[in-house]
Amino acid sequence: MHLIVGSTGRLGGRIATLLLERGAPVRALVRAHSPERARVVHTDPERLRELGADIAEGDLTRPESLVMALEGITHVVSTATSTKRGEAESMEAVDVEGTSTLARLAAAAGVHQFVYVSAYRADASSDQPIMREKGLAERGIAASGVAATIVRPSAFMQDWIGFTLGAQVQATAASGTPRVQLIGDGDLPIGFSDEGDVARLVLAVLEREDTIGEAIPLTAETATYREVVQRMSQRMGTEIEVETLPVGSQITTVPEELAGMLTFMLTISAGWRPNTDTTPQVAERFGLEFTSIDTFLKGESRG
């Protein structure tokens, strides 16, 4: 039985669905319902139940709920993060402490493999908070002694192109001149991966003993934001204006309720160190073909 932690999120929901479609036994860890949470749930647990999932109520910040959820589990996949879930729960409490506790309890429960979705530049000594917390989570998993496989994807195109740029283009297109604001100069190469490819890579490493102890990177393609905007312009057949704002500015191209999140994401990307390497050997090893930025822009992502 596979336990999916993060199953109500975008990636965890995809992974749970793919496993269920293959007929694999799945238990989905789901947090107690609250009206606030219902607004941000991306994958409806009821849909997973209909597909055959066993639903276990639990929370990474409540270890006793995890002990029960782990009963009879051979494989754990965790995609859980607090990053997109508001400020009430910190990455330290969920991503670092919660993941480390889950790994410790999984080791004690005799789980055969723990697959954790980390991030491409995970590094416990990084000065970039998300990369640091992911690095600390990996350290917690290693300390637990559980047999673990780490998957380290780079920025998801769905979030870092579709949302950060797409929302701006959509909001400004009606004016006749689509426009995007970037924070920083937009000239840093950024590694991108497709969310569906990440799900397929997680499935590919599951039950592969030769991946235990490894951190497997996934970057389908590297490009600067300016290059991505250029390619979007070509696809649309109309020029997208680019305005660069200094760090500390708030973007103004989208409705107010989106501006905070977009500004946050674009500010983080302005501080990323360049990703210059790609991972063709990962594609070959697992027999996967990764989605390029152009394929994603065409709306033909394999996810």
Ligand X SMILES: NC(=O)c1ccc[n+]([C@@H]2O[C@H](COP(=O)([O-])OP(=O)(O)OC[C@H]3O[C@@H](n4cnc5c(N)ncnc54)[C@H](OP(=O)(O)O)[C@@H]3O)[C@@H](O)[C@H]2O)c1
Binding site for ligand X (CB under 6 A): 5-12, 31, 37, 40-42, 59-61, 79-85, 89, 94, 98, 117, 119, 153, 155-156, 159-160
Measured from the CB of residue 120, what is the shortest distance to ligand X in angstroms? 6
Q: State the residue number with the nearest CB to ligand X.
A: 9
With beta carbons less than 8 A apart as the criterion, state whether 265 and 164 touch. yes
Nearest-approach distance from CB 262 to ligand X, in angstroms: 14
Which residue, 99 or 172, has its beta carbon nearer to ligand X?
A: 99
- Minimum distance of ligand X from residue 195's CB (angstroms): 7
**16 and 48 Cβ atoms separated by less than 8 Å:** yes
What the block records as the tokens of 2 is 């596979």
Q: Which is nearer to ligand X, 119 or 172 (CB)?
A: 119
For ligand X, which is the closer residue by CB, 85 or 231?
A: 85
Q: Please, which residues have CB within 8 angstroms of residue 191's CB and are 6 or more apart in sequence?
A: 120, 154, 155, 219, 221, 222, 275, 277, 278
Q: Which is nearer to ligand X, 172 or 269 (CB)?
A: 269
Specify which residues 191 forms β-bridges with.
222
Neighbours of 154 (CB within 10 A): 24
Which residue number, 67 or 236, has a Cβ lying nearer to ligand X? Answer: 67
| Cα 80 → chain centroid | 9
We find the least distance from the C-beta atom of residue 176 to ligand X, in angstroms, to be: 31
The nearer residue to ligand X, 9 or 178, going by C-beta atoms, is 9
Q: How far is CA 15 from CA 8, 28, 204, in A?
A: 10, 10, 11
Rounded least distance, CB 104 to ligand X, Å: 15
- Between strands 221-223 and 190-193, the pairing is antiparallel
Q: Cβ–Cβ contacts within 10 Å for residue 177, how many? A: 11
Residues 113 and 147: beta-carbon distance below 8 Å:
yes
Beta carbon of residue 74, minimum distance to ligand X (angstroms, whole number): 20
Q: Residue 155 carries which DSSP code?
A: E
